[in-house]
C-alpha cells in the first residue's frame, strides 16, 4: 500500500505543478481561467497532503491489504493524461481552452480511481480520512461550476459529469413535531 500511496503523492504533486503552469499560460489570455487553474493547483497540493496523512497512518498501523497491484500498464494508463498535458505545456503556451480540455482529461484519469481506492482502504484504520471524499467531490463541483462560468458556450460540464461521484450527498431531517415533519 505504501508504494501506491507514494506513487499517488507524486502524481498529485505533478498535477499541481501542471495546473500552476497552466495558470501562468492562461493569465494573459483569460485571467478567469488562470484563477481556476491556480485553485486547482492548490487542490492538488491538498490531495497530496491527504495522501501523506494516509501514508503516515499506514506506517503506524498493521499492514493494509493490497487488493490491487501497480503494473507498468496501469501506471502508463494513469500517467498518460498528465504526460500529455506536460508535453503540451513543454511545447509552449497553448490556448487556455486546450489547457482546460487537458486538465479535464487528467481529472477523468484512472489515477483518481486509485486515489479513491487508497482513501477507502485507509479510512477504516484512520478516521480522519473520512473527510477526504467530500473534499474531492467539492473539488469536482468547483471545476464544473467555474468551467460553466468562464466559457458558458462550451460543453465541458458533460465531461465533468461523466466522472463518477465520490461522495453522495444525502440530507436526513429528524423532526419529532408532527406538523413540522
Residues 113 and 11: their CA atoms lie apart, in Å, by 13
Residues 114 and 103: their CA atoms lie apart, in Å, by 18
Q: What's the pTM value of the predicted model, to 2 decimals? A: 0.80
Exposed e or buried b for every residue in 76-104, given b needs 16+ CB within 10 A? eebbebbeebbebbeeebbebbebbbbbb
| 17-53 tens-digit pLDDT | 999 999 999 998 899 999 999 999 999 999 899 888 8
Residues 148 and 156: their CA atoms lie apart, in Å, by 7
Amino acid at each position: 500500500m505504501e508504494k501506491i500511496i507514494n506513487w499517488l503523492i507524486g502524481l498529485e504533486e505533478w498535477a499541481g505543478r501542471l495546473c500552476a503552469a497552466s495558470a501562468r499560460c492562461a493569465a494573459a489570455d483569460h485571467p478567469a481561467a488562470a484563477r481556476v487553474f491556480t485553485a486547482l493547483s492548490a487542490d492538488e497540493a491538498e490531495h497530496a497532503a491527504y495522501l501523506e496523512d494516509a501514508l503516515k497512518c499506514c506506517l503506524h498501523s498493521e499492514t493494509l491489504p493490497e487488493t490491487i497491484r501497480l503494473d507498468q500498464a496501469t501506471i502508463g494508463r494513469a500517467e498518460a493524461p498528465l504526460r500529455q498535458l506536460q508535453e503540451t505545456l513543454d511545447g509552449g503556451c497553448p490556448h487556455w481552452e486546450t489547457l482546460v480540455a487537458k486538465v479535464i482529461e487528467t481529472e477523468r484519469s484512472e489515477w483518481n480511481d486509485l486515489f479513491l481506492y487508497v482513501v477507502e482502504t485507509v479510512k477504516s484504520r484512520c478516521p480522519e480520512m473520512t473527510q477526504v471524499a467530500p473534499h474531492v467531490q467539492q473539488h469536482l463541483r468547483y471545476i464544473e461550476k467555474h468551467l460553466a462560468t468562464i466559457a458558458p458556450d462550451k460543453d465541458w460540464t458533460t465531461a465533468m459529469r461523466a466522472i463518477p461521484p465520490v461522495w453522495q450527498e444525502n440530507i436526513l431531517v429528524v423532526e419529532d413535531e408532527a406538523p413540522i415533519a
